[in-house]
Chains A and B, each alone.
Chain A
Amino acid sequence: MSPAPAGATGETQPGWMVGIDIGGTFTDVTALEAGTGRMLISKVPSSSTDPSGAVIAGLRSLQDLQPDLALEDVRLFVHGTTVATNTLIEHKGANCGLLITRGFRAVYELRGGTRPSGSDLIDTFYVKAPTLVPQQLTAEIGGRMSSDGEELEALDEDAVRQAARKLRALGVESVAVCYLFSFMNPSHEQRTAEILLEEIPGCRVSLSSVVLPVIREYQRISTTVLDAYVGPVIEGYLRRLLGELREVGLRTEQVFIMQSNGGLMRIAAAAGFPNETILSGPAAGVIFASRIGQLSGEANVVSFDMGGTSTDISVMPGVAHQETRAGQVEGQDIGTPMIEIRTLGAGGGTIAWIGPDGLLKGGPRSAGAEPGPACYGQGGQEPTVTDANVVLGYLNSGQLAGGRLRIDPALSAEAILRVAEPLGMSVEDAARGIVDVVNVNMEVGLRLSLLERGLDHRKVALVAFGGAGPVHATRVAREVGIPRVLVPLHPGIGCAMGLLQTDVKHYYLQSRLSGLDTVDLGELHQLFEALEDRARAQAKEEGFDQADLQLHRQLELRYPYQGYELSVPCPPHLAGEADREAIRRSFDRRHHEVYGISAPEEIPQVVNARVVSVCNVPRLDLSPRPLAEPSAAHAVVSRRPVLFAETGGYVDTDIYDRSKLLPGNVIEGPAVVEQLDSTTVLLPGQRADVDSYGTLVVTVEA
């Protein structure tokens, strides 16, 4: 791709900021020069065998675009990666061992508290996801803590030693340790780590009291094992990447990785927190959407990132991303806090087919990058969403991605005929049907996501990005009743841009189950201080000045016997009864916000104390540009027939070139806006205003 216009930064120090996000097919690169506001974007192919090679290729592609860009001048480098997820998909994690409390071999494999969906609920062929450590590499260790953290039975050190020797003989390189109630008293796990390191020198040890010191043993085992399984792989990858970055001349100390929680972490520190990198890429997309929403002054946004195989949706009340503790990656449960993202099996490559009930279905199968939609002419035969969009005129029938992809509409029509014929429909009606069915899937997912966060659809804006997001978002928003869609200037590289729009962030958690009315405030204060000490130590380790560090205390509460918690802020000094009451009421309010009800007569329980630490780093901040005249006539490059539900048939429609649009321009729908990395479809009755940041603000119900 070429140098992109528009883009500036609030930063005045010279130098470049570079974000590189590895996706399934492409590695996206974005660079912004502080001061001048020059911005570069580019894409290079991803490589599953050599992910760091794609990062280096991405850096070099920047120099091809801008020969005077010297890597010594890069002052911030942020990376988004899928290495952890790929490790799970390809089953290429470490050979792990697991030590558990004696007598509890069933806990991990049972995967308690889980619930399959769809036909698995009744299918006798249902299987649970395989565990990452087999029983033969699992050892039971004597020793027991009570629910108060009192030692009921001493640690059986001999058993630890014997287990360690056996695991060493079996070539284990990474060991997870998860004992009951270790979040109340970690001493048995800590002593176990010492023995393990004596017996298996160089072994990587994951303690549940460090990885996730919270109540509920199954979630803790699963999360700790995940840490042990992907840890060595992540560690190796990051070390290699850092070395290669230095080798090609990157000098800056500001080298970060995006975490699943939406904050950054120094790459050098990330090896210790592999679980934090699991949703690295998608999290950056959510950060990007929230930033776009903030610039446009929205109160609440939903990110809508539609790519080739799936669509990621994340609901952000107050333009702030939400987190979940009940994450799942490739069937593995993970309790590490991460940005809440709903992934729907609907993308441009999603295949349409006729179900066994005779109804038209969309997905979840996708044509992916290989062979891709039929119209790419790479051998794809089955009709995809992209093919339907070509037939309907939404996508340019000559070329996409600035000519890198040739589109053959005849191949699209041929593929769609495969479903149109048996349904007794025309190709056009079937194409409309495919888009309708895929859209309704996304609408249902969107409404359920809004419901789960208690948000009114009339009070949100949809931020549409990813190659296919702006094609579908205007229709989806109209159906759901969302009043505005924001299409950012560069929708195709949202994740790479999001990498440059956040701060370093860590969570420190500790369970303490107790009624809010009876919890010892002094003890709670000590708990927070211990967590804050850990936060300060880590900030120091990551090279941050204590002055840059902001610490926030939170309490995680639930009503008695509930299966989940909610976070509320906790004042830095807990003085007495008034504080208890204030915390209780803020929890009631939060519960009402999230679930639509509260139970003010119930006394909540404290489950966890949590400290959030934030260190600021330089960010990409776009600057507004002055508004031009409303007329966008200069940007019309052609006309073509496009079919809309509102018009009932094809109408000759203006095609705009996004790169020619100026802030202040206004487009009335129906219209199609084309750019290198995406296409925006404006429906009849919709209107788009280009705002001062170049974002297309689409008014859905004009």
Chain B
Amino acid sequence: MDPITLEVINNRLREIVATMEHLLFHSGYSTILRESFDGSAGLCDAEGRAVMALGAPYHLFPYHYSVEGVLRAHPVEEMEDGDSFVLTDPYWGGNLHVPDLVVVTPIFVDGSVIGFTVSIAHKTDVGGLVPGSSGAAAREIFHDGILLPAIRYWTRNGVVKDAELIVKRNSRSPDTVAGDIRAQVGCTRVGAERVVGLCDEYGVDTMVQAFAELQRLSELRVRRQLAEWPDGHSEAEAWVDHDGVDVDVPLRLHVAITKAGDEITFDYSGMPPQGKGAMNLRPPHAETAALLALLTYLDPTIPINDGAGQPLRFVNPEGTITNAQWPAAVNSYYGLTTVLYSAIQKALVRFNPDRAVGTVGFGTGAIAIGYRSAGKQLIQYEINTNSLGGTPEHDGTFPVMPMSHVTPYTPVEILESEFPVRVLRHEWIADTAGAGLYRGGPGARKEYQVLTDALFTLRAGHQFVYPGWGVLGGKGAPPARAFLNRGTDRERALGPLETLALQSGDTVTLETPGGGGYGDPRHRAPDVVRDDVLNGYVSPDGARADYGVVLDPDTLEVDQAATTALRDGD
């Protein structure tokens, strides 16, 4: 296909996906969609391979698995124009956990299915053990919420009423969930219509060819870049506190990477067995972590589609924590996926040190607070953010979601207006940024006080003992922490995975960690360290201990002589 027509179709498809995403975020009901952007929309080819998607890049591999799940239950011969399918079962489709509800709509042209439009969006509540569905006590996938295999949810005659009734009856926030699903169905149907319109304009053969070509171009870019890396083998490990159940048993993640020619293999044979708790991963998680980590070291401008994943090979034995078998619970996947992604990045440093970065802060996840007020269930759901690590060019950025750099944030003023809660602080914590020539972004402290009794769930990865690390001489950041009633005689340190019954007046304090540092902190200019002290990111003690910079205690001016002596001393 000529490079102009393909670029034109490329842009037209991007417009369609942007349109789908706009409709998703503007017609969904929940704050998760509207304020946290935890949803995505995209286009797949007739085999379910992702052609194009915007937003949440960790939803991309799951698209393929999800379409395959739909096809397994409903072969194309049984599909009709106007159908839309819904699934929540991670073992049936490829969604990352049960609340990530998937909608798949086939695109019909002249009676044949030429592709699918897909949307994945996190739901406020789909049943399960706790408000928000993802509970710390989950031991089986059945505890994570209602498991929908690929079911027909919409037909040319509108919503399948029985299906909607079942979904609503199984949610603590039925109207919000039903509204969000309608938004998802709506955006995939509009997307499908638009693709059909393009087929009219360019011809269906050209469009199908463009689906393949766009994947091939991403694949070629990955292969071309991989070919430039030296061949070789690299391994990395990372430690996880525990599996959420056996809290005294740390887990060692291990990944082995072999790069040969224009292909790269990720071997997860060294992974521990699947855990008893809810932090297990499935192949879509393990593959997404690898692709995203690889692209950050290769070239993040390569458009992500299933073509980009073709040069990747996986060895991922069944029954390990990266390929957990039914019915293991998976609701807290995000933290472990982030650690896996970071371990892979560590192993990749040797292939491309120019793109080396300190880790993003570990201990990511979400909180859910369920309040019962005047007979109504209110659910406050917030996604935690973490600072990025230092890079060869600059300090790590302020908190974002790891792997997908949106900054979800529900304003304090909205929280306090809508929920019986007071936010007491949201501030940086000194000395929580991993030190380095370029340091990580700082860690943050957020403190809540509930004004009624409430059920509180914290999912902060599994990293309160083992934090992230620095790179090429940079230091790691201290681990994340959480407390109940901090500073009172009822203070209790919390684990990363907790469900608590709070009493009115209780406080919960979350301390997210900073990013890891890049390069030797003793090479950071003393004036820049002084600026960090003035800005409160580093304490005077931290300046001395981590950077070898001595400041005059009164003026905070750099004591050049003492600094030189200290830096040259070791």
Stretch of B30-38, B61-69, B130-138, B488-496 on the interface side: B30-38
Q: Which B residues touch A562, using CB under 8 A?
A: 34
Per DSSP, chain A at the interface is: loop
Q: Which A residues touch B425, using CB under 8 A?
A: 103-104
Stretch of A122-130, A199-207, A229-237, A394-402 on the interface side: A122-130
Whether B4 is near chain A, meaning CB under 8 Å from some CB there, is yes
Stretch of A83-91, A592-600, A623-631 on the interface side: A592-600
With contacts A111-B407, A115-B407 taken as known, whether A126 is within 8 angstroms of B388 at the C-beta atoms is yes
Interface residues on A, range: 35 or more
Mask, A445-477, CB within 8 Å of B = 1, is: 001100110000000000000000000000000
Taking a contact as CB atoms under 8 Å apart, the answer to whether A595 and B26 are in contact is: yes
Whether B7 is near chain A, meaning CB under 8 Å from some CB there, is yes
Which B residues, 357 to 416, have Cβ-Cβ distances below 8 Å to chain A? 357, 360, 385, 388-389, 391, 393-394, 397-400, 403-409, 411-414, 416
Taking a contact as CB atoms under 8 Å apart, the answer to whether B8 and A122 are in contact is: no
Taking a contact as CB atoms under 8 Å apart, the answer to whether A218 and B411 are in contact is: yes
Q: How far is the CB of A431 from chain B (nearest CB, A)?
A: 11
Taking a contact as CB atoms under 8 Å apart, the answer to whether B406 and A116 are in contact is: yes
Whether A440 is near chain B, meaning CB under 8 Å from some CB there, is yes
Mask, A80-119, CB within 8 Å of B = 1, is: 0000000000000000000000011111011111111011
How far does the alpha carbon of A169 sit from the alpha carbon of B176 in the complex, in Å? 53
Whether B537 is near chain A, meaning CB under 8 Å from some CB there, is yes
Whether B217 is near chain A, meaning CB under 8 Å from some CB there, is yes
How far does the alpha carbon of A122 sit from the alpha carbon of B55 in the complex, in Å? 10
Taking a contact as CB atoms under 8 Å apart, the answer to whether B12 and A440 are in contact is: yes
Taking a contact as CB atoms under 8 Å apart, the answer to whether B411 and A112 are in contact is: yes
Whether A193 is near chain B, meaning CB under 8 Å from some CB there, is no
Taking a contact as CB atoms under 8 Å apart, the answer to whether B444 and A217 are in contact is: no
Taking a contact as CB atoms under 8 Å apart, the answer to whether A119 and B300 are in contact is: yes
Whether B535 is near chain A, meaning CB under 8 Å from some CB there, is yes
Whether A423 is near chain B, meaning CB under 8 Å from some CB there, is yes
Taking a contact as CB atoms under 8 Å apart, the answer to whether A218 and B416 are in contact is: no
Q: How far is the CB of B196 from chain A (nearest CB, A)?
A: 16
Taking a contact as CB atoms under 8 Å apart, the answer to whether B57 and A112 are in contact is: no
Mask, B531-555, CB within 8 Å of A = 1, is: 1001111000000000000000000
With contacts A448-B22, A595-B27 taken as known, whether A110 is within 8 angstroms of B34 at the C-beta atoms is no
Whether A324 is near chain B, meaning CB under 8 Å from some CB there, is no
Whether A147 is near chain B, meaning CB under 8 Å from some CB there, is yes
Candidate in A112, A146, A564 with the most chain B CB atoms within 10 angstroms: A112
How far does the alpha carbon of A211 sit from the alpha carbon of B127 in the complex, in Å? 44
Candidate in B6, B391, B413 with the most chain A CB atoms within 10 angstroms: B413
Closest to B443 in A: A106
Q: Which B residues touch A361, using CB under 8 A?
A: 7
Closest to A511 in B: B413
Whether B266 is near chain A, meaning CB under 8 Å from some CB there, is no
How far does the alpha carbon of A598 sit from the alpha carbon of B18 in the complex, in Å? 21
Q: Which B residues touch A107, using CB under 8 A?
A: 412, 426
Which B residues, 289 to 308, have Cβ-Cβ distances below 8 Å to chain A? 292, 295-296, 299-304
Whether B179 is near chain A, meaning CB under 8 Å from some CB there, is yes
With contacts A124-B391, A136-B535 taken as known, whether A113 is within 8 angstroms of B409 at the C-beta atoms is yes
How far does the alpha carbon of A127 sit from the alpha carbon of B427 in the complex, in Å? 19
How far does the alpha carbon of A114 sit from the alpha carbon of B411 in the complex, in Å? 12
Whether B428 is near chain A, meaning CB under 8 Å from some CB there, is yes
Closest to B424 in A: A103
Taking a contact as CB atoms under 8 Å apart, the answer to whether A135 and B29 are in contact is: no
How far does the alpha carbon of A356 sit from the alpha carbon of B218 in the complex, in Å? 10
With contacts A111-B398, A121-B404, A359-B10 taken as known, whether A135 is within 8 angstroms of B535 at the C-beta atoms is yes
Taking a contact as CB atoms under 8 Å apart, the answer to whether B15 and A123 are in contact is: no
Whether A441 is near chain B, meaning CB under 8 Å from some CB there, is yes
Partner of A110, one of B218, B299, B409: B409
Which B residues, 406 to 459, have Cβ-Cβ distances below 8 Å to chain A? 406-409, 411-414, 416-418, 424-428, 444, 446-447
Whether A559 is near chain B, meaning CB under 8 Å from some CB there, is yes
Whether A299 is near chain B, meaning CB under 8 Å from some CB there, is no
How far does the alpha carbon of A360 sit from the alpha carbon of B34 in the complex, in Å? 35
With contacts A126-B388, A215-B414 taken as known, whether A561 is within 8 angstroms of B30 at the C-beta atoms is yes
Q: Which A residues touch B417, using CB under 8 A?
A: 147, 215, 513
Taking a contact as CB atoms under 8 Å apart, the answer to whether A105 and B414 are in contact is: no
Partner of A125, one of B8, B27, B357: B357
Whether A216 is near chain B, meaning CB under 8 Å from some CB there, is yes
Q: Which B residues touch A135, using CB under 8 A?
A: 428, 534-537
Taking a contact as CB atoms under 8 Å apart, the answer to whether A105 and B536 are in contact is: yes
Partner of A121, one of B8, B179, B405, B424: B405
Taking a contact as CB atoms under 8 Å apart, the answer to whether A114 and B27 are in contact is: no
How far does the alpha carbon of A360 sit from the alpha carbon of B4 in the complex, in Å? 6
Whether B233 is near chain A, meaning CB under 8 Å from some CB there, is no
Taking a contact as CB atoms under 8 Å apart, the answer to whether A110 and B385 are in contact is: yes
Taking a contact as CB atoms under 8 Å apart, the answer to whether A359 and B19 are in contact is: no
How far does the alpha carbon of A440 sit from the alpha carbon of B4 in the complex, in Å? 10
Whether B14 is near chain A, meaning CB under 8 Å from some CB there, is yes
Q: Which A residues touch B179, using CB under 8 A?
A: 599
Mask, A128-154, CB within 8 Å of B = 1, is: 100000111000000000110000000
Whether A16 is near chain B, meaning CB under 8 Å from some CB there, is no
Taking a contact as CB atoms under 8 Å apart, the answer to whether A358 and B217 are in contact is: yes
Q: Which A residues touch B350, using CB under 8 A?
A: none
Whether B221 is near chain A, meaning CB under 8 Å from some CB there, is yes
Taking a contact as CB atoms under 8 Å apart, the answer to whether A440 and B11 are in contact is: yes
Q: Which B residues touch A672, using CB under 8 A?
A: none
Mask, B294-326, CB within 8 Å of A = 1, is: 011001111110000000000000000000000
Whether A160 is near chain B, meaning CB under 8 Å from some CB there, is no
Q: How far is the CB of A427 from chain B (nearest CB, A)?
A: 14
Taking a contact as CB atoms under 8 Å apart, the answer to whether B427 and A105 are in contact is: yes
Q: Which A residues touch B385, using CB under 8 A?
A: 110
Whether B3 is near chain A, meaning CB under 8 Å from some CB there, is yes
Q: How far is the CB of A501 from chain B (nearest CB, A)?
A: 32
Q: Which B residues touch A451, using CB under 8 A?
A: 19, 22
How far does the alpha carbon of A441 sit from the alpha carbon of B19 in the complex, in Å? 15
Which A residues, 390 to 447, have Cβ-Cβ distances below 8 Å to chain B? 423, 432-433, 436-437, 440-441, 444, 447
Give me the interface of A with B, judged by CB distance under 8 Å: 103-107, 109-116, 118-128, 134-136, 146-147, 180-181, 215-218, 354, 356-361, 423, 432-433, 436-437, 440-441, 444, 447-448, 451-452, 513, 559, 561-564, 595-597, 599
Per CB-CB distance, the 4 closest pairs between chain A and chain B, nearest first, are: A112-B409, A103-B425, A135-B535, A123-B300
Q: List 18 A-B contacts (CB under 8 A).
A: A103-B447, A105-B427, A110-B426, A113-B409, A118-B301, A121-B55, A122-B57, A124-B388, A125-B391, A135-B537, A136-B534, A147-B416, A354-B3, A440-B11, A448-B18, A563-B35, A596-B27, A597-B27
